[in-house]
Amino acid sequence: MANIGYARVSTADQNLDAQIDELARHGCSRVFADTASGTLNERPQLKACLEHLRDGDTLTVVRLDRLGRSVPHLVQVTNEIAERGIGFASLREAIDTTTAVGRLFFHVMAGLAQFERDLIVDRTKAGLAAARARGRKGGRRAVLTGDKLTTARNLYKEGKMTVQQIAEVVGVSRASIYRALKPA
């Protein structure tokens, strides 16, 4: 009957220490940790954690969003471990699925988390649509414009320089040269 922790951050710039410390304070004898987006299907440490869990163990996370990428995924994972006799606990949301109230609360909180995520997606889409309607498009500005573009095209047409040499002369990457020379 072990308490096993799982921690996750989305990028290498983020730090796992706070999650690992909190899980240790709550009695986790072992903590598995991933640095990967929650939307990824393949998270090696989550897979290892789920394989490590045994009947009577409890999987503990700091927050629900550390485990699942969506409500259906959270429900799927918790149902799969429940079928194996494994409990689930989320510290922030005070969820413990080893009790009936905990299971109910988990489903309510998971639904609210999905609702919040859907609202964020809707607001993002609305903002992008409003920007497009005003003539703005997303993405990074082109680095190869005006004189640089003309120079690059002329040098390429002359055929005396490699794309790498043209890129060095103009001061951009080879990929930028290839994109600029690609037929529209």
10 classed as catalytic: yes
Model pLDDT, residue 49: 95
Is residue 110 situated within a structural domain? yes
Which entry of 10, 29, 37, 90 is annotated as an active-site residue?
Answer: 10
Model pLDDT, residue 88: 92
Tell me, yes or no, whether 110 and 153 share the same domain.
no
Is residue 108 situated within a structural domain? yes
Domain that holds residue 170: 146-181
CATH number at residue 153: 1.10.10
Mean pLDDT for back-to-back runs of 10 residues, the chain (184 residues): 92 88 95 80 88 95 84 82 91 87 80 82 93 86 85 90 91 89 72
User: At a CB cut-off of 8 Å and minimum separation 6, what does 36 contact?
Assistant: 8, 10, 42, 43
CATH number at residue 57: 3.40.50.1390
Is residue 39 situated within a structural domain? yes
User: At a CB cut-off of 8 Å and minimum separation 6, what does 81 contact?
Assistant: 50, 53, 59, 87, 88
